[in-house]
A and B are shown apart, each in its own frame.
Chain A
Amino acid sequence: DGGITQSPKYLFRKEGQNVTLSCEQNLNHDAMYWYRQDPGQGLRLIYYSQIVNDFQKGDIAEGYSVSREKKESFPLTVTSAQKNPTAFYLCASTRGGLDYGYTFGSGTRLTVV
């Protein structure tokens, strides 16, 4: 079955560490997105990519970085510059263009210890 796979499901980060969250899709979707979800705040866009080797900052990109070297993969790195990284991170994809039916992964819960 096609879908989006996020790993790991749970991740613990020490202060000052960079960590990378994985997002892989086998839907042949062109566009991929990273969202952060905090209690009571809804979904906030971190980065998005419409095509391979191109990506754009979202509303809260500071302290995060991404790459899009393959159509299927859109990893997110949470750097030590992100001062409050504890959150639920969601990856999504669409066919792009006028397709707004997002498919979401099951999320990664990141906790700073």
Chain B
Amino acid sequence: QKEVEQDPGPLSVPEGAIVSLNCTYSNSAFQYFMWYRQYSRKGPELLMYTYSSGNKEDGRFTAQVDKSSKYISLFIRDSQPSDSATYLCGGGSYIPTFGRGTSLIVHP
């Protein structure tokens, strides 16, 4: 079992939709969690990271962590075609472990 599980998708939504991306993790020692966005043939870029359970908001993005159920979520409000990318979740206590990434397609 991988430490961080993530459905690869693709997830296809219409422009303006609320997107929910999810990951589960198995290691209860994880202390921090992160979300990255990766466009095709580019390096990942950090969207958000957090140390605690609860919600963290940044513009249209909200990261949610539930340590009791080992569940990580990223919500994207008012999704745009430019949000079409692969989204990587990760977590760790020292060196992070990443999920496989979820491919998101936002169509006009």
Contacts and interface: CB of A to CB of B under 8 A. Distances in A.
A2 to B, nearest CB: 14
Interface stretch (B10-18, B55-63, B74-82, B90-98): B90-98
B43 A43 contact: no
A100 B88 contact: no
Contact of A107 (B8, B34, B43): B43
A100 B100 contact: no
Interface residues of B, number: 22
B32 interface: yes
Given A100-B32, A103-B46, A104-B43, A42 B96 contact: no
Majority secondary structure of chain B interface residues (helix, strand, loop or mixed): strand
A102 interface: yes
B88 A42 contact: yes
A35 to B, nearest CB: 8
Q: Which interface class (under 10, 10 to 19, 20 to 34, 35 or more) fits A?
A: 20 to 34
A101 B101 contact: no
A110 B40 CA distance: 16
Interface string A35-48: 00000111101001
B97 to A, nearest CB: 9
Interface string B1-43: 0001010100000000000000000000000101010000111
B100 A40 contact: yes
B49 A41 contact: no
Given A40-B8, A100-B32, A100-B49, A107 B42 contact: yes
A61 to B, nearest CB: 13
B46 A101 contact: yes
Given A100-B34, A109-B41, A43 B46 contact: no
A42 B100 contact: yes
A40 B103 CA distance: 11
Given A40-B8, A104-B45, 9 more contacts: A4-B43, A6-B43, A42-B101, A43-B90, A43-B98, A100-B96, A102-B36, A102-B96, A104-B44
